Amino acid sequence: MEVAMLADDLLLLALDDERGTVLPQAALGLPYGLAGGVLMELGLRGLLRMDGEKLSAVGTTGDAILDDALRDIEARPGKTVAHWIARLSGGSPGLRQRLLDRLVAQGTLEKREQRILLLFHHTVYPERDGRVEHDVRARLDDALLHGARPDAPIAALIHLATACQLLDALYPKAQHAAIKARVAQLDDPQRLAADSVANAVQQAQAAAVMAAMSGAIVASTIAATSAACAATSASCH
């Protein structure tokens, strides 16, 4: 039986309701966030055991996505949370697609095919039934803006959304400082997974910056070499 879980809620929050695409602010962090959502869900259900920072799994859920993760963890005992964030996020296009497909099947999202430049097809997932996300947003607002004490799943979702840098996209800039202070007050027994997500996002950002810098250096070197060759009519090989 498939039931709503953290990764579903995170994905709904990360999608532009009308365009059906991932919000730009969440694009880099979402793969790690979805992976973290699966681990946090298993932790909330009491199906993970911690020995220091190493994980082991017990039991099943009846949910195909969660049970696949459990079997993977059972087959590789003793790995860290950070390892599983990296491993599960490495297959995140598959994880994200499975989540999208079931949200479509549940009637929450609609699947649409778009043509780009008359050549390429692009699939988007605009919102069809906003009740699920509306409920999640209301509970987030209660916890972050109105001082309500969140239950464990909402506290976990808040830390997860913070870790993958989604909260800033959901609330206006004028509220960011107050929300950040409120998040710091919230306890979450699954915080280790959120911290691992945040670290993974920071590493991905650093890698993206280095890749961009390297690309710029390579491009400028090629341009300079080409200009020098043209100026001297030399042959460059």
CB 163 within 8 A of CB 194: yes
**Over residues 34-47, mean pLDDT:** 88
Q: What is the pLDDT of residues 158-167, one digit of tens each?
A: 988 988 889 9
Tokens representing residue 92 in the block: 């995140």
**Which DSSP string do the residues of 32-82 spell out, in sequence order?**
HHHHHHHHHHHHHTT-EEEETTEEEE----S-HHHHHHHHHHHHSTT-BHH
Which of the four pLDDT bands, split at 50, 70 and 90, describes residue 200? Answer: low
**Over residues 169-182, mean pLDDT:** 96
Q: For residue 90, is pLDDT > 70?
A: yes
Residue type, 167: L
Q: For residue 19, is pLDDT > 90?
A: yes
Quick one: pLDDT at residue 210? Answer: 41
DSSP conformation class of 26: G
**Over residues 134-145, mean pLDDT:** 97
Quick one: pLDDT at residue 156? Answer: 87
Tokens representing residue 151 in the block: 């239950």
Which of the four pLDDT bands, split at 50, 70 and 90, describes residue 139? Answer: very high
Q: Helix (H, G, I), strand (E, B), or coil: what is residue 114?
A: strand
Quick one: pLDDT at residue 203? Answer: 64
Q: What is the architecture, at CATH level 2, of domain 6-185?
A: Orthogonal Bundle (1.10)
Quick one: pLDDT at residue 100? Answer: 96
Element (H, E) at 113: strand 112-116
Return the half-sphere exposure (C-beta side, CA atoms, 13 A cut-off) of residue 24.
0
Comparing 121 with 68, the larger pLDDT belongs to 68
Q: For residue 151, is pLDDT > 60?
A: yes
C-alpha 234/C-alpha 133 separation (Å) is 63
Closest CA relative to residue 63, chosen from 105, 153, 7, 1: 1
